[in-house]
Structure 1
């Protein structure tokens, strides 16, 4: 297996995030300490020292994941569905990135065909290609609020299509695949016996749509088709990237077992201490406080970003995000896209503000686009956008246009 091509998003983040003064490229909800996590628990007597069992022996623990953590995840995936998801149908992993990888590693072989929702996190199409699969991109359409065309998906599928890969909510656009479209995808995939994997790492951070809305997207595991796989993590919606806990889940136990067998070559187990923190965060006493904090943070900061876009609408255009932590904004001058990489480099050099160029991180067709992560701490977003505003006034006209 040859290595995949350079992972440009991660290389950009690695290069710039430690030196940024205002990181508004961050894709996690503002990270919290264990003390802060304890304060979000409904039991106000809880202290950080109560979260971790310091007397526990630090052996490998439960290889597939702790009972407490998988029980809490099972409860979340079983809400409002007729058939609960068994704990044994969940594998704990060191992050969603490891979960995605093991799904591809376990299920794909050279000559298989994959269709991937796009634009999206590069791993979701580069890793399948590196394993010898042929990959077609199912493109979201910016002119249609980033909705992809279902008929185009049907046209992309072949006799050897093994996997359809979704990202819902979508990175980098902050948009969703609505419920009706998900049902169409599932019905079509089931008719062809195609596995559907959905990277749901930004779920359940919905700030512009509620469960009462007919378009509100359920988890892929809630749609009645057993050959579905969901991946997620504690990093994005749950503010705990540093504990490196993620998971994969499926209603098809055979798929779980295939992933578990492949996982033996990549992961023995995940830290017991990290899983204790994750289990506490997802417990009924803590989950609502944590998610409530993050959804309110997203709403507050998105208002700031929307004001910026409106103020600069001569240069900026977007579809306002409804979920997740990222927005994909197109910057133009005289009707032509700017050189986004030059823009982002100059912005960080002159102001300390970090954002990410869309064509560099997500594909050359996204010239002029910049991904902004707007759910960092409000003061960082507010001060960062003020620095971008001053940059726009003084420096923007001198930036090169995209070639």
Structure 2
């Protein structure tokens, strides 16, 4: 991404739902630009843990998301989430780091859902933990194998790491599978850490579906912690606001102590814009817009895949913003790095899957595409990809 993104003509590798502006937020929230940040306000650090207003808005979103799901198991005797269950961070990347730094150390064992965002297994490894990847495959629909999880648990296992919805596949961990993971973790006293940065961008499963997953912290288990962000589902990556949420105030306090080593507070301007965007007048409009965009664009991507049967295949994404597509020739995977470099020359920027996600797995020929960009950019990027396939695909090297 660092090497090629700046020079890309059509960025179909982007993992954020296409970005919105301050004007968009103000329009949907029904406020003027002055509401974002009055020019007379002094630019002090602001609220260290995030403003009460932002954390209350987040609590309302999580409580509604949990309570409106009729299929979800009620949280027994725990009540609603409150602002002190949330800690505001510098994006989800800062949230994830704080969770690992707080809860994981040398000699611990971590089990991480795979494939996924590299931070989720590289950071605990850097802290001295042993990390085993809980691998999934396209052949099994990227489904988690619960029996495999049971076999992976050791005496020193401390945490199971999940990503829901999943990057890069767009897989949804369903309610029943999620519940089973939590019960296994409860039996062994393990932390369950869930990166929910793409939540609630579920565009292939409805909240009325019995398998629609509620937020991770919906369940009554003290060792669950999750993270979220304004970047992906809420289209505001530029404000760098993320959060940690747990029903355990002990976990929140531990993360707050760790966070003190990396930041004091998020910008007051960012906090205020996030507060307005996550208010009841605005956040639903953002999600509705992005779900419609995801559904429209995924149909375009799916047409592309169906029009190239014999050259590519995938397990269709159900959530989030990314799809993991396997390209092959004569039944053999192409070199995904060569594929992406050659396609980039035609204007289509994508991420090579085996190069970026494999970590011992075989993702040769896989390419990650971010399809919730502006529709025009996706169409232009796929047109450039089509031109490349017609002219140079047959000369591409195969993966070794």
Quick check: TM above 0.5? Answer: yes
Inter-partner Cα distance in structure 1 for 2:63 and 2:204: 24
Are residues 1:368 and 2:383 paired? no
Task: Decide which of 331, 337, 345 is 2:341's aligned counterpart.
Answer: 345
Task: Decide which of 29, 37, 46 is 1:61's aligned counterpart.
Answer: 46
Map 1:379-390 → 2, pairs under 5 A: 379-390=376-387
Task: Decide which of 374, 379, 393 is 1:377's aligned counterpart.
Answer: 374
Shift of 1:55: 2.3
How high is the TM-score relative to the length of structure 2? 0.95
Inter-partner Cα distance in structure 2 for 1:227 and 1:77: 17
Q: Which residue in 1 is equivalent to 2:70?
A: none
Inter-partner Cα distance in structure 1 for 2:38 and 2:233: 25
Q: Which residue in 1 is equivalent to 2:390?
A: 393
Q: Secondary structure at the match of 1:284?
A: coil
Q: Which residue in 1 is equivalent to 2:213?
A: 217
Shift of 1:110: 0.6
Contact 2:164 2:199 in 1 (8 A): yes
Inter-partner Cα distance in structure 2 for 1:299 and 1:161: 39
Q: Deviations over 1:66-107 (max 9, x none)?
A: 111101011112221652112111110000001000111111
Inter-partner Cα distance in structure 2 for 1:399 and 1:215: 41
Q: Secondary structure at the match of 2:97?
A: helix
Deviating above 3 A after TM superposition, structure 1's stretches of 4 or more consecutive aligned residues are none
Q: Which residue in 2 is equivalent to 1:331?
A: 327
Inter-partner Cα distance in structure 2 for 1:166 and 1:78: 21
Q: Which residue in 1 is equivalent to 2:399?
A: 402
Note the residue ranges of structure 2 that are not aligned, 5 or more in a row. Answer: 68-73
Map 1:62-141 → 2, pairs under 5 A: 62-79=47-64, 80=67, 82=75, 83-141=79-137
Task: Decide which of 138, 142, 150 is 2:138's aligned counterpart.
Answer: 142
How high is the TM-score relative to the length of structure 1? 0.94
Are residues 1:47 and 2:42 paired? no
Inter-partner Cα distance in structure 2 for 1:278 and 1:344: 35
Are residues 1:18 and 2:6 paired? yes
CA RMSD of the aligned region, Å? 1.0
Q: Deviations over 1:292-344 (max 9, x none)?
A: 11111101110110000000011111011010000000000011100000000
Are residues 1:313 and 2:309 paired? yes
Q: Which residue in 1 is equivalent to 2:15?
A: 27
Shift of 1:53: 2.8
Q: Which residue in 2 is equivalent to 1:153?
A: 149
Inter-partner Cα distance in structure 1 for 2:37 and 2:23: 12
How many residues are treated as equivalent by the alignment?
387
Q: Secondary structure at the match of 1:138?
A: strand
Inter-partner Cα distance in structure 2 for 1:58 and 1:140: 48
Q: Which residue in 1 is equivalent to 2:350?
A: 355
Are residues 1:300 and 2:302 paired? no
Shift of 1:37: 1.9
Inter-partner Cα distance in structure 2 for 1:212 and 1:115: 31
Inter-partner Cα distance in structure 2 for 1:293 and 1:47: 21
Inter-partner Cα distance in structure 1 for 2:324 and 2:28: 31
Q: Which residue in 1 is equivalent to 2:71?
A: none
Note the residue ranges of structure 1 that are not aligned, 5 or more in a row. Answer: 1-12
